[in-house]
Structure 1
């Protein structure tokens, strides 16, 4: 009675141990899929023979048992590692279906030949093919179930890795970031002091302060296109203050009397493109100045926003890259505006070009986390 009572109190511990054992089984299947598949196949063979012995049923010749084990195992191996991945993930089924048909045909022909060689009775082809087809179908169903658990194990491992990477990223982010309120309060204090010294310097400093404040904005809060565009202009103004006449940058925009203050846009997406110009491009070439073009205009029954960047290429690429660039921003935009984003980019021997289209219409949804 005490043991039962203890087990009742320790259900959570027992469940945890059970989940650990299941996780170990998934890991073993993920690391050793070939061994696991043939092990299951061998256990099935041993169980089938044992049941036939216990039930005093007729057992086929050893050669036929070996052929069933090897031939059926090869079919299962092909189904597990080639057919299911190609069909489920790559959506390519024609070639693997032909290959599967060839493998099964060879298996049937060899077995039919050996049965005719060892058996004194005539073999009825129709019952033979029906029985073999049913047998293979059963094996394929078992293998498909095992493959499902195998994929589940791989996905579980990938999810765990993503969670660990996210935790590491959050830790690194926290360790590198000062409290935003402290930073902005100190900058406001400096700004008030600068105002007394120089109004022009105060103006430039205010532009930088606005950029910094925007960078601290919570990405889970709703953001709009006009906010991003304002930061783009401030950023370029700060760069012009920094580099003076050396900076070659042209901005042109045409919004057709349309204010972009109602168009949602994830924070820092366009800024990433602009930052990459200064990281990877040459901003001082007067023959090929950096050019930023912004447009919003009616298109069919929707509004089309276009963002175009052109810049000369840097002679020597930077040694360090954050690896957060065009492809990452493209994935973000396609998540927020599925089917309504087109991004083109390319480069020649002298310059880099990027063109972005975002179509704003009735199908746009706010996917900002709540």
Structure 2
């Protein structure tokens, strides 16, 4: 039985009628969030006006209410579209936060100026800004409540899209896994027969089997450092087979890494870094060969540390993507699976270098079970 302190899971899908109803009704507002603020301030005007009329409260007049509503609406826009998103999502939010607060100050000053031009009797300048600060605090809290609901719905929608995409990928992956053992065993039999005719062909087929077996590994299952290194060696063999004598690689991968079957390595992590070398670099220049180094080192403690590095000549004819060779994806994997890992890219005028260190201090909780 679940604890009452545990919040229930939210099923954001078409099979949940309440969530689906909210999603359907909120769709135009989510597409155009400024409509949310318009409804919010429309409700504010209706509530304030009806309360003032019903209780016969004193009021400074229509012009005062109109100016206050307009300035309040634009203040909510600054909070909704600038301040809150920058606080929660921006990597360096201080500039946007400062501009937002400056915008609020300008709006407050404009409000005071409009009151003076309209001949509205108000407080002294100091009292005005004190009461305006209190009013802006109320605007901020109310707008944040609405923005939080909006952000929650958007996050749930993004989660739904991600899960749907993942399910589609899983279906494709399962289709690709149709009888994998039969396929591998069949190719293995062909490989064994080829040994009688050509030892070189036998080696090529075995490397192909290694890549194929690696491709069948589910990303949610345990992938050992040994399997990742095997896949790297098979990948490099395939590149050499493909380009023959037109490829220049300085392979300094320690084969003893093939013995580390108990250490985890996320599938495609190291291979992605190597593949990017061939995708974005020049590997056909004999004066500047591609350098790939991988080894296990030990510091002062007996903790094994994987040291992995690449270096290649930059292909200046290619436009580099903003993601810097997809390093952000690799960083995210490292942050999740290895707390102490470091990934350091270095770009000079002609070369791109990358150094990765992973201390294997202990089995991480995020590692999948074997």
Measured after TM superposition, the shift of residue 60 of structure 1 is 3.3
8 Å Cα contact 2:341-2:359 kept in structure 1: yes
| Deviation string, structure 1 residues 203-230 (Cα, Å, up to 9, x no partner) | 4422332232222223222222233223
Indicate the residue corresponding to 1:97 in structure 2: 101
Counterparts in 2 of 1:258 and 1:187: CA distance versus 1, 3 Å: closer
Partner secondary structure for residue 295 of structure 1: strand
**C-alpha separation in 1, matches of 2:30 and 2:327:** 33
**C-alpha separation in 2, matches of 1:257 and 1:47:** 71
**C-alpha separation in 1, matches of 2:76 and 2:316:** 55
8 Å Cα contact 2:229-2:258 kept in structure 1: no
Indicate the residue corresponding to 1:8 in structure 2: none
**C-alpha separation in 1, matches of 2:326 and 2:87:** 32
Name the count of aligned residue pairs.
Answer: 346
Q: Which moved more, 1:332-341 or 1:281-290?
A: 281-290
Indicate the residue corresponding to 2:367 in structure 1: 368
Counterparts in 2 of 1:369 and 1:125: CA distance versus 1, 3 Å: same
**C-alpha separation in 2, matches of 1:217 and 1:300:** 35
| Deviation string, structure 1 residues 313-368 (Cα, Å, up to 9, x no partner) | 569769xxxx985443333223211342213153644x543332223325x61423
Indicate the residue corresponding to 1:34 in structure 2: 34
**C-alpha separation in 2, matches of 1:269 and 1:312:** 21
Indicate the residue corresponding to 2:74 in structure 1: 74
| Deviation string, structure 1 residues 37-93 (Cα, Å, up to 9, x no partner) | 122212221222122222333343222222222222222222222222233333323
Indicate the residue corresponding to 1:263 in structure 2: 263
Indicate the residue corresponding to 1:274 in structure 2: 274
Query: Quick check: which has more Rg, 1 or 2?
Result: 1
Matches within 5 A, 1:212-291: 212-241=212-241, 243-253=243-253, 260-291=260-291
Matches within 5 A, 1:1-370: 16-90=16-90, 91-92=93-94, 93-108=97-112, 110-111=114-115, 113=116, 117-118=119-120, 132-174=132-174, 178-241=178-241, 243-253=243-253, 260-301=260-301, 302-312=303-313, 325-346=326-347, 348-349=349-350, 351-362=351-362, 365-369=364-368
Measured after TM superposition, the shift of residue 181 of structure 1 is 1.8
Q: Which moved more, 1:129-138 or 1:262-271?
A: 129-138
Partner secondary structure for residue 56 of structure 1: coil
**C-alpha separation in 1, matches of 2:285 and 2:62:** 81
Counterparts in 2 of 1:336 and 1:35: CA distance versus 1, 3 Å: same
RMSD: 3.6
**C-alpha separation in 2, matches of 1:316 and 1:330:** 26
Q: What TM-score does the superposition give when structure 1 sets the normalisation length?
A: 0.77
| Deviation string, structure 1 residues 284-316 (Cα, Å, up to 9, x no partner) | 432222322223222343443222223445697
8 Å Cα contact 2:344-2:355 kept in structure 1: yes
8 Å Cα contact 1:336-1:365 kept in structure 2: yes
Partner secondary structure for residue 101 of structure 2: helix
Partner secondary structure for residue 297 of structure 2: strand
Partner secondary structure for residue 195 of structure 2: helix
For structure 1, the residue ranges without an aligned partner over 5 or more in a row are 1-14
Measured after TM superposition, the shift of residue 187 of structure 1 is 0.8
